[in-house]
Structure 1
Amino acid sequence: MFWNTGVTRTNSNKLLLILAIMLSAMLLPSMEIRSTLPRLRLDDVLLFGVFALNVLLWLIYRSPSEYNLGLSYHEDQSRAVRAVSNVFLLFLGSMVLSNLFAAIFLRTPFSVRDIMEGVTLAKYYLAATLALSLDLQEGEFSVLCKTFLVGLGIILVLSWSQFLNIANVNAWLTPFFAQSHLDNLVNANPPRVLGTFDNPNVMGIFAVLTLTLFVTMFYFRENERLKAVLLFVAVGLTIKLTFMTISRTALLATALVLTVLSLWALFKYRWKKDMLLKVGALFLLTLLIFFTSPREFTTRINEATDLGNSTSAQGHFLRAGNAFEYIKESPILGWGTAKKTMTTLVDDEYALVTRRYGVVGLALYFWLFLRPVKAALEKVRLFNFSASDQGIRETKTMLCIAFVAATAAVFVYNITAGIFYNLQLMTLFALFMGLIYRIEGENF
């Protein structure tokens, strides 16, 4: 496997690359090189650049055994690579088939922009395979966790600065991340934060994905009292961050995540007193944060319950409307990517994928997410929660539980937006996917 050769032969170098990509996806916006070219991200450069360098080194030093393109690796990694490759190749195949069908039978023109769809999928594949190539032990997990918390801390500080406009940050720093949503921040009442992302809704779902990790560790892991308190505080800060974005989709995803994980924990631990106290504490904390939010916040949330008069809901329906008309005309294989002739602004990723690749492509799109969920559930089922001193096995099981809840949140988010076409979110999620695939391949 290409991550086991060249500059990423060692586990430490793989970890450093993962950390750099993770921080880039969390903290940095895309950069414009030229107005006629797609915007570029640092994590794009890192992934494709190191991959190309590894291939180059293999071509130069392909005679020594250590530069065999990494094809000699452990069986657990081999199983993981086969699984993730099959899933990505199936989705890529549906893309190619739909574009061929559209070009031949529907006379839909194919452009250079459409090729970028394959490049995007290749990026996520590289991110997933990089993560699964990592031998995740306690030391590596500790570094990953601490680095993620540093990045999250920066996001929290910036988000509160945007909310309160500390040092007039919305005039000189916020535009660095998103010029188009400044009115939502500066002029809105109350302001909507977007942290280091380009949209408050993206910031909201990132906070929900982070919430799944904290809640999972709070419920399912044996924690000392101090660590339990710190996790409780982290959950509160993350929920508050979600509320500060005033993203109604993210709030719905928050409710789903808390419900799923709470019920899961209650049934797993047979409604024990300690778990009832934990679930009750998080429920009260969520209510406290909700009812202490500004009145304008609750007004915006209540607006979402009246779909007939909600301008936001009507806007989503209008942007998705044309997609449904096209789907009726070609439901099986879709119209191909068709970026040259059709809009890419469809506020429903399921509708956009179906319009492009038909129900066949939609099924394989779902499989892209559900295949690692299947693996995660199987590992959770096999884990003995009553045993003591589980170490890294317990940590990996926690990641599996969090991934299942995170995928549920993503499925909600895709109704009014979409993760696949957001390079920041999907890069982070692809790294998460890769860890789950590697955990699946391991025997424990």
Structure 2
Amino acid sequence: MISALFSWAAGYSSPVSGDIIESIKYLQFVPYMMAITFIGIASLSHLHKLLFWSAILVLLIGYIQVLNIPFLAEWLLKKYLGADSSHLASALAGYRITITGSDPNIGAVIASFFSIYFTTLFLKEKTYKYLIFALLFSFLILSTQSRTILGAFLSTFSFYFLFFYKLNFIIKIILLTLLITSIIFLVFSLELQYIYLGAQLTSEGENESLNIRLDNFSLAIERFYESPLFGMGPAKSEFSTVIDSEYALIIQRYGILGIFLFGFYIIYLLRLAMRNISSQWGITLFIFIIFSCVTMTTNNIFSGYQLMSIIVLLNITCVLHEKQNRNVLIKYTNLKKSTSHLHSFFR
């Protein structure tokens, strides 16, 4: 909101209500963060059940689109995308599904979250139903044909698996090589042309999607130099509202102030994840934040209505997990003191 007001006052843009609405949407998650102190520790088990049943629903919707089930697939896609969406035709053709997202990239991030969540559960509990869930969601990521999301998913999971998961390093390399080889095989055998043609066009410098993003980033840097401290705000009366790179969006709209606030929050989340890295929630938050940092090069996470809620959810779960550990420690300390007093009494 500060950036929007500054932009109006400095004459960078004309006052429009959309600029304020854009700023306020970040505040929609504040009540959830404030509610943490009122959420009981027992809610962690309930959250797991909620995520489990939500995953089943998302899988059902995703595979209805993959199989392109007559009438039902079209009905679902129109509900999630709207009848006038530019992504509807390709989704109906089974070319790039969107799952429960408003476009294929958002759908791929949602599928990535569930895949990361169930993968961490499998690594912690060695229960194969979680591995099956993770693989089913991984296939949905492929079906969205989202290149950046697939790359971010593979690179961040590989990073965690190589440097944090306790296993023989040679076995890790073998397993990751098999995983990447299997994905490459699936990409070509399923004829996911958007993925491999995109890679080919990128190597030739003719990837239009990437070139547009690079142009937007270049413009964002120019506008940052014009107003480095507070940025130019959303400025919907002057500039395009579509800025696919969240890094470009932050430096253009919010300047140094935005860089500091978003950077501080990401560092806070990484520290929170590391403090809880022994739990499934901490691992999931850690992988998803690294994944988000990669994804933000070409897509939006924090400014997305559907995606920031995932980060807030994981933030809440890790805070609750810390609260649970503190309570256990307090009970253990009190029990130890009581035992010590009894021992002294009977001695």
Pair 1:296 & 2:178 matched: no
- The offset of 1:261, in angstroms, is 2.2
Any residues of structure 2 matched to 1:19-38 within 5 Å, and which? none
Structure 1: gaps (5+ residues): 1-94, 384-396
Opposite residue 272 of structure 2, the aligned amino acid is A
Deviations 1:281-316 (A, max 9, x none): 565355334413445315633423542111221232
Q: Which residue of 1 aligns with 2:304?
A: 422
Pair 1:358 & 2:255 matched: yes
Deviations 1:377-397 (A, max 9, x none): 1333xx5xxxxxxxxxxxxx2
Q: Are the equivalent residues in 2 in contact too, given 1:125–1:430 (CA < 8 A)?
A: no
Any residues of structure 2 matched to 1:21-420 within 5 Å, and which? 95-96=1-2, 98-106=3-11, 108-131=13-36, 133-137=38-42, 140-179=43-82, 180=85, 181-187=87-93, 191-219=95-123, 221-223=124-126, 227=127, 229-266=128-165, 269=166, 271=168, 276=171, 280-281=174-175, 284-285=178-179, 287-293=181-187, 294-297=189-192, 300-307=195-202, 308-380=205-277, 397-420=279-302
- Cα distance in structure 2, aligned partners of 1:305 and 1:438: 46
Deviations 1:23-68 (A, max 9, x none): xxxxxxxxxxxxxxxxxxxxxxxxxxxxxxxxxxxxxxxxxxxxxx
- Cα distance in structure 2, aligned partners of 1:253 and 1:305: 18
Higher relative contact order (CA 8 A, sep 6+): 1
- The offset of 1:231, in angstroms, is 2.1
Against the structure 1 CA distance between its residues 272 and 358, is the aligned structure 2 distance closer, same or farther, given a 3 Å change threshold? closer
Q: Which residue of 1 aligns with 2:337?
A: none
Q: Are the equivalent residues in 2 in contact too, given 1:212–1:406 (CA < 8 A)?
A: yes
- The offset of 1:264, in angstroms, is 3.3
- Cα distance in structure 2, aligned partners of 1:413 and 1:132: 31
- Cα distance in structure 1, aligned partners of 2:21 and 2:194: 41
Q: Are the equivalent residues in 1 in contact too, given 2:201–2:207 (CA < 8 A)?
A: yes
Q: Are the equivalent residues in 1 in contact too, given 2:26–2:303 (CA < 8 A)?
A: no
**For the aligned residues, what is the CA RMSD?**
2.6
How many pairs align?
Answer: 320
Opposite residue 185 of structure 1, the aligned amino acid is A
Q: Which residue of 1 aligns with 2:333?
A: none
Structure 2: gaps (5+ residues): 330-347
Opposite residue 240 of structure 1, the aligned amino acid is F
Against the structure 1 CA distance between its residues 435 and 304, is the aligned structure 2 distance closer, same or farther, given a 3 Å change threshold? same
- Cα distance in structure 2, aligned partners of 1:147 and 1:262: 26
Deviations 1:322-368 (A, max 9, x none): 33331232223211232232222111111111111112311211222
Against the structure 1 CA distance between its residues 114 and 440, is the aligned structure 2 distance closer, same or farther, given a 3 Å change threshold? farther
What TM-score comes out, normalization by structure 1 length? 0.65
- Cα distance in structure 1, aligned partners of 2:22 and 2:37: 23
- Cα distance in structure 1, aligned partners of 2:206 and 2:241: 26
Find the residue that maps to 2:33 and give its secondary structure.
helix
Find the residue that maps to 2:122 and give its secondary structure.
helix
Identity, % of aligned pairs? 24
Against the structure 1 CA distance between its residues 271 and 147, is the aligned structure 2 distance closer, same or farther, given a 3 Å change threshold? same
Opposite residue 301 of structure 1, the aligned amino acid is Y
Q: Are the equivalent residues in 1 in contact too, given 2:19–2:236 (CA < 8 A)?
A: yes
